[in-house]
Structure 1
Amino acid sequence: MGNESAVVVGVDGSDNARVALDAAITEATTRKTTLHLVAAYHAPAVRRHSVAVEYEKVVREEAAAILAEAAERARDAGADVTTSMHSGDASGVLLEQSRTAALVVVGARGRGGFMGRLLGSVAAALPAHAACPVLVVPRRADGTARAERDYSGRIVVGVDASGAANPALASAADTAQRRKLPLVVVAVAGPDFDADSRAGDDPDAVRSVLAQCRDSVAASHPDVQATTVLEEGAPAEVLAGISATAETVVVGARGSGGFTAMRLGSTAHALLGHAQGPVLVVR
């Protein structure tokens, strides 16, 4: 079954997956599109065939129960829901779904602990390889988030020297328009802003790029209130701090500074490991 234009979300019964489901419900309802819930199960290899068959039945039934509960929650919230269950690795299943989806949503951490890593294996793999934008949603820390500025109720997009040509800008403006929220365009001055020249070390040059971004949003999304902020520091650290209060932080999958051979730019990768709020990775 194709899921063209659908919002796809992976569910696994974890607390973080429930938070991701809520974010996916918001995305689907504001986009006025279908929400497709996906559950993946995997039965480890067992030598005795009879044991293997019984074990697979147990994990399949558990996945089906998780999927049914999530679907009921989404329908109660007003979403138009479809579901599918797959045998296999969750990353591979969601990557396949991304071929036709408008957006894939996943929790930053799934079940199983992932050996103490900040980012779960599925959330780490998807933004690097998915064919569509990926929204990675962590559980917010209660009362522990600290940020120099309060970005509550705002969509924030991080831009580099590519400016208005950065696909993240258009996606962030679309998100702000759908959700009727203001947009903040953030650039971080320094060598990471433009590794191909020293323009990133010139605050005036960075401000010029920010002004171009603001003008681009005004032309394409006149209903969106857009402001700009110039920061200094390491981009991933700055954006991670902003994510503590922002509704969503939007970044491009690749930066302007030589990441063409990489699946995921270093800023996006580092941000995903430390973000305290939803991060939308756009390619």
Structure 2
Amino acid sequence: METTPTPGQRVIIVGVDGSCSSVAALRLAASLMPLAGDRIDALAAWQHPLVSGPYTPLEDDYEELAGRALDRAVTDAFPTGAPCVVTRRVRHGLATEILIEESRHASMVVLGSRGRGGFNGLLLGSVSSAVVERAECPVLVSHGAAQLAGGAAIAVPTVGASM
């Protein structure tokens, strides 16, 4: 599958982890298509667990699990079908590094925000913060996950419209 855009093609990368925030990010990216994209690349990253224990399934196919989460998120975002071209991709590795790498060929990266702030945010780190810092294209972090994931309309001004 061709992942590098053809010359002149604008691709919006959407990081998908199966959360309501990533469903909202997919919807937001679709609403931005007239302004920033010709296709959406919905991208899920996976890696083996760093810690194992009696409750960590070591035999699972994590790539398949990530693919199922990606499919479910796209279906939840667009229950009657996507209003644009959505390419689904699953890659092995750290989400932050993959999204930064993908930003080299994108017109925009759209991410959901899970809202981990304060002390928990310091302990867990933040994919969106790292991508904002290091991406090679504009990054939009969606904070309205509850409204957007519920199907609320998104008003996007047309190019050249007066504000």
TM-score normalized by structure 1?
A: 0.44
For 2:110 and 2:82, how far apart are their aligned partners in 1?
17
* Correspondence for 1:224: 161
Pick aligned residue for 1:76 from 78, 81, 91: 81
Any stretches of 5+ residues in structure 2 without a counterpart? 148-153
> Shift in Å at residue 140 of structure 1?
5.8
Going from structure 1 to structure 2, the CA distance change for 1:26 and 1:91 (only over 3 Å counts) comes to same
* Correspondence for 1:93: 98
The structure with the largest alpha-carbon Rg is 1
2:12·2:37 contact (CA, 8 Å) conserved in 1? Answer: no
> Shift in Å at residue 108 of structure 1?
1.6
2:14·2:29 contact (CA, 8 Å) conserved in 1? Answer: yes
SS across alignment from 2:10: coil
1:64 aligns with 2:67: yes
For 1:116 and 1:81, how far apart are their aligned partners in 2?
33
Percent of counterpart pairs with the same letter?
32
> Shift in Å at residue 81 of structure 1?
1.2
For 1:45 and 1:224, how far apart are their aligned partners in 2?
49
* Correspondence for 1:128: 133
For 1:17 and 1:103, how far apart are their aligned partners in 2?
15
* Correspondence for 1:41: 46
2:37·2:107 contact (CA, 8 Å) conserved in 1? Answer: no
1:117 aligns with 2:121: yes
* Correspondence for 2:158: 177
SS across alignment from 1:224: coil
Going from structure 1 to structure 2, the CA distance change for 1:33 and 1:2 (only over 3 Å counts) comes to same
> Shift in Å at residue 44 of structure 1?
2.3
> Shift in Å at residue 31 of structure 1?
4.2
> Shift in Å at residue 131 of structure 1?
0.3
> Shift in Å at residue 17 of structure 1?
1.2
Q: Which amino acid aligns with 1:108?
A: S
* Correspondence for 1:23: 28
SS across alignment from 1:19: helix
Going from structure 1 to structure 2, the CA distance change for 1:94 and 1:109 (only over 3 Å counts) comes to same
Cα-to-partner distance string for 1:93-116 (whole Å, 9 max, x where unaligned)? 100110000000001228xx5763
SS across alignment from 1:54: coil
Pick 1 or 2: higher relative contact order, CA cutoff 8 A, min separation 6: 2
SS across alignment from 2:73: helix
* Correspondence for 1:2: 4
* Correspondence for 2:59: 54
1:63·1:85 contact (CA, 8 Å) conserved in 2? Answer: yes
For 2:4 and 2:145, how far apart are their aligned partners in 1?
33
**How many aligned positions are there?**
145
1:105·1:137 contact (CA, 8 Å) conserved in 2? Answer: yes
Pick aligned residue for 1:106 from 108, 111, 119: 111
TM-score normalized by structure 2?
A: 0.73
Going from structure 1 to structure 2, the CA distance change for 1:32 and 1:88 (only over 3 Å counts) comes to closer
* Correspondence for 2:151: none
